[in-house]
Amino acid sequence: MEEIKLDSDLDKVPVDRFYSLSLIRTPRLAKNMTYWAGGLFIMLNLFTLLPWTQNINSRGVITTLNPEERPQTIQSTISGRIEKWHVHEGEFVRKGDTIVTLSEIKDKFFDPEMLLRIDEQVKAKVSSGKSTLDKAKALTKQIAALKSALEYSLNKAQNKILQSRLKITSDSMDLVAVKVDFEVARLQYERQEKLYNQGLKSLTELEQRKLKFQEVSAKRVSVENKLFASRNELNNSIIELSSLKADYTDKISKAESEYSSTLSYAFTIDGEVAKMKNEYKNMQIRSSFYQILAPKDGYVVKALKAGIGETVKEGEPITSIIMVHPELAVALYVKPMDIPLLTIGRRVRLQFDGWPTLVFSGWPGASFGTFAGLIAVIDNMDTYGKYRILVVPDPNEEPWPHVLRVGTGADGWAMLNDVPIYFEIWRQLNGFPPDYMKDVIPQDPEKMKSDKDKDKE
């Protein structure tokens, strides 16, 4: 009780009057620092309990959702020399408007009346083909006439052979009759000669028999010669038949050969005519390429070839064109480890270059100047180690600024799960990927597009 009283007495002692007592007193600054440090520690611990929205941060540029609306270069289909520019940079053109006029630089196409020349050649070849076909028709008739004449001549020769055979038969019968008459005349002459030798017949009668015998002998020789001539005539007819076949076969073969050659020449002419028509059509189409036309409505943004008289090659770009009001999208490039976390229709917050913003990536509601988007496309192939995603405006959120242009840079944050800040710090320190977001319902890009069109209306 005395110590306590002593302490209470010491508290009443003015320490400022005693220097040694002032040195052993606790400093006020240390107490204040202790209080502040403790308070900050408690506040930091409470801060780590606040919610934090996990996100995937990536960099990209503004492009268009439809490939046909993206900026494109206008190329020359043929090589030529620039004769006239019909537009200037930044000018609005409609589809089909003439941008540049070219002239020919190949000597093959210098003739301004080449189409007329080719057309005349085609007509000449067509006339030549008609004449060749007429010749082929005449040869067809000639071959038919030769075959008909061959058939007629063969029938005639066969009839002649038949007649010769009948004639031989007739002459053979005459010869048999003459031989009988010859034997009878010979026997009568021999009997008459015996009777004359016996004195029973006169010399006159003997001479008459002898004369008769000689006449029959002469007739026999004549009939034999006639039969021999008929046989020779039959042989000649058979030889003539064979010769006739060979002769007409040769003529028909020559005519058929000439007919085949004529048809071959006619087909060659048809091929040449088709080739000329193809050349004519190519020249006609080529002449339309002297005027380089705008493929779509848009603005001429850059002339890649300047001046008059400058030459361009096939496929070489001349200028660029961009659509007036393209359907914008942001192309973001995401690391491969983050791709499995993304799905079509996931929410994305965007920050556009040149647009004033105050960004808290983990607290999208507290950010200022950012705009909402939805993932519409996820590439299945990487681009230089990263995967491209296309983000379109969210039809249910504030629309994107109308002053945005293709090529503007943008930063994007794909919103994932809501976790405490201490968990996010732990995840970042360990290099773990964000958690999967379980409450995201993927949306159909077509439905998103139709909703956007309805909002515009």
Residue ranges of domains in the chain, CATH in brackets = 1-47 (no CATH), 53-69+326-456 (2.40.30.170), 72-98+290-322 (2.40.50.100), 114-285 (1.10.287.2610)
CA distance 281 to 34: 95
Q: How far apart are CA 61 and CA 71, in angstroms?
A: 13
pLDDT at position 52 is 64
Q: What phi-psi label fits residue 431: left (phi over 0), alpha (psi between -120 and 50 degrees) or beta?
A: left
Cα distances from 328 to residues 294, 391, 404, in angstroms, run: 22, 9, 9
Instruction: Please answer whether residues 227 and 172 qualify as being in contact, where contact means their C-beta atoms are separated by less than 8 angstroms.
Output: yes
Distance, CA of 457 to CA of 447 (rounded, Å)? 15
Residue 321: exposure state from Cβ atoms within 10 A (0-12, 13-18, ≥19): buried
303 touches 36 (CB < 8 A): no
- In angstroms, rounded to a whole number, what is the distance separating the alpha carbons of residues 263 and 139? 10
Beta bridge pairs of residue 52: 419
Q: Is-contact 89 302, C-beta < 8 A?
A: yes
Q: Which residues contact 373 (CB under 8 A, 6 or more apart)?
A: 330, 347, 348, 349, 350, 391, 392, 393, 394, 412
**Count of CB atoms within 10 A of residue 74's CB?**
19
Residue appearing with tokens 């995603």: 389
- Ramachandran assignment for 354, one of left (phi > 0), alpha (psi -120 to 50 degrees), beta (any other): left
Residue 25 phi/psi, 5-degree rounding, is -85, 145
Contact between 44 and 319 under an 8 Å Cβ cutoff? The reply is no
**Residues 6+ away with beta carbon under 8 Å from 242:** none
Token representation of residue 360: 């808290």
Residue 451: the pLDDT is 54
What are the φ and ψ backbone dihedral angles of 284, each rounded to 5 degrees?
-65, -45
The phi and psi torsions of 274 (rounded to 5 degrees) equal -60, -40
Contact by Cβ (8 Å): 391, 400: no
Residue 77: enclosing H or E segment and its boundaries? none
Each residue's pLDDT tens digit in the chain (457 positions)?
Answer: 444 444 445 555 565 565 565 555 556 666 677 777 877 877 777 766 667 666 677 889 999 888 888 888 888 888 888 888 888 888 899 988 999 998 888 877 777 778 788 888 888 888 888 888 888 888 888 888 888 887 887 888 788 878 878 888 887 887 788 778 778 877 877 777 787 787 777 777 777 777 887 887 888 888 788 878 878 887 887 887 778 788 888 888 888 888 888 888 888 888 888 888 888 888 888 888 888 898 888 888 888 887 788 888 888 888 888 888 888 999 999 888 778 778 888 888 888 887 766 555 555 554 556 788 899 999 888 878 889 999 999 888 888 888 888 888 888 877 666 666 676 677 667 666 665 444 444 445 455 555 555 554 5
Residue at 44: amino acid letter: L
Q: Tell me the residue length of the chain.
A: 457
Least Cα distance to 336 among 385, 295, 302 occurs for 385
C-beta of residue 285 within 8 angstroms of C-beta of residue 278:
no
Question: 317-322 and 347-352 as β-strands: parallel, antiparallel, unpaired?
Answer: unpaired
Q: Which helix (H) or strand (E) holds 76?
A: none
What pTM does this model have? 0.53
Amino acid at 89: E
CA–CA dist 235, 368 (Å, integer):
125
**How, if at all, do strands 371-378 and 317-322 pair?**
unpaired
Strand partners, 156: none
> From CA 366, how far away is CA 413, in angstroms rounded?
14
Give, in order, the Cα–Cα distances in Å from 5 to each of 2, 10, 12, 15.
Answer: 5, 9, 11, 17
